[in-house]
Amino acid sequence: MARHVVAPVSEIAPGSSKIVDIAGRSIGVFNVNGEFYALINRCPHEGAPLCIGFVLAKFTSDRPGEYRLERHGEMLRCPWHGWEFDIKTGQSWCHPESVKARTYQVAVVPGEALAKGPFVAETVPVSVEQNYVVLEL
């Protein structure tokens, strides 16, 4: 298990994401309203690059003619077949108990702390003035 510096916090604005390759794995790192989450970039249904899909709200309805949009920016829709996943947990909307996109631990760490290690900076240059998104894998 190593901690990988993914990007400066400023690079991934709220509502956006960055796809990174870490240890041979393609992973999407999302900024959901200021908090960071990471999902494997592979849909558990048929293997599509899940993390390039649209980010949406949770859309529900109690009866025909009524609908609700909640949890804005917290759902991800697969770019192939449209399966939806909760970005925070990887849980599938259709099969919440049995289907999950793999998630990874992400933290925001000050550049100052990074300078001390043990982190794998890879291609992201680190300066002490900034905060960084760090992923555990």
Give the residues lining the site for another protein (CB under 8 A).
44-49, 52-53, 79-82, 95, 97-100
For residue 26, what are the β-bridge partners? 21
Encoded tokens for 1: 């298990």
Q: By three-state DSSP, how is residue 7 classified?
A: strand
For residue 3, what are the β-bridge partners? 136
Q: Shortest gap between Cβ of 63 and another protein (angstroms)?
A: 16
Which of residues 56 and 137 has its CB atom nearest to another protein in the complex? 56
Which of residues 25 and 81 has its CB atom nearest to another protein in the complex? 81
Q: Shortest gap between Cβ of 46 and another protein (angstroms)?
A: 4
Q: Shortest gap between Cβ of 134 and another protein (angstroms)?
A: 27
- Burial call 7-39: b when 16+ CB within 10 Å, e when fewer: bbbeebeeeebbebebeeeebbbbbbeeebbbb
Which of residues 68 and 102 has its CB atom nearest to another protein in the complex? 102
